[in-house]
Amino acid sequence: MTPLRRRMIDDMTLRNLAPKTIESYVQRVSGFARYFKTPPEQLGPDHVRAYLLHLVHERRLSWSHYNQVRSALRFLYCVTLKQDWVMQDIVCAKKPHTLPVVLSLDELTRFFRAITNLKHRAILRTAYAAGLRLSEVTQLRVADIDSQRMVLRVCQGKGRKDRYVMLSQKLLAVLREYWKIAKPRDYLFPGAQPDRPISRRTVMKACRDARDIAGLGKNVTVHTLRHSFATHLLEAGTDLRTIQILLGHRSLSTTARYTHVATAASQSTQSPFDRLELPPQEDAQS
């Protein structure tokens, strides 16, 4: 490990950044240095600009990835190297607003029925039933299940925050059935090594396999299950503030995006076109 990388990791550790953030920033800076085959401290604003344009035009990476690389380089130059001028004119990209993919109840039923592996079935049902992120559901421990209060404790979710989420009666039955057979001791969903959680890659593959077996044409990920959870709550009449707390969103505006994909409002609202008195022959002629 180079002295610069050690220093950057120490700077991030002192600021209590999440381990995933530290790992990601180190990878992004490493990619930047490899591209120019030069230590970052010898590079400047023109190199940063050229590299970001390379990511956009040649590698065609997402704007989210662009912003993550920019954030990593900004930390390196502004905090660790104390060279603020390097990032002075490197702007944050405006990300396009896209609507999340949401599964219908029928599609969810087909999806879950396609899963034959006991552990995979339990973890993916938990992700939907509690609206959890992939990192949150894989890190669940047996002790996080509170059947007396009917809640699941999410420890150190996104933003390094703990929160409680709902534990439905049906999910509790699923988890009890799973526990009787798997008998996990610490992590609720352990990986190949009992003292380690199941890998994110394993869960993502289980998700893709279930999607293919169920014949769903949509791109289904664990986050799709979380989106579906939020949208179905909204369509059932749950208020946005409650959904915000359950999802662990910092801002209500983040939760409000689900109002654009919920169908309850559009289905219950009559189109003004339906109130027009048009003769049948006019419709036929057109």
Active site positions, annotated: 133, 158, 223, 226, 249, 258
Q: Could you tell me where the beta strands, DSSP code E, fall in the chain?
A: 145-146, 151-157, 161-166
Q: Which residues of 7-33 are buried (b: 16+ CB within 10 A; e: fewer)?
A: ebbebbeeeebeeebbebbbebbeebb
Summarize the chain as % helix, strand, coil (round to 5).
60, 5, 35
Residue 150 region by backbone torsions, left for phi larger than 0, else alpha for psi between -120 and 50, else beta: left
Distance between the two ends of the chain, CA-based, in angstroms? 72
In the numeric block, which tokens belong to residue 234?
């909204």
Residues whose CB is less than 8 angstroms from the CB of residue 120 and which lie 6 or more positions away in sequence, other chains included: 203, 206, 210
Q: Helix and strand tally (H, E) in the chain? A: 14, 3
β partners of residue 75: none
CB contact set of 261 (below 8 Å; sequence gap of 6+): 99, 100, 102, 227, 231
Spatial separation of the C-alpha atoms in residues 44 and 53, rounded to whole Å: 15
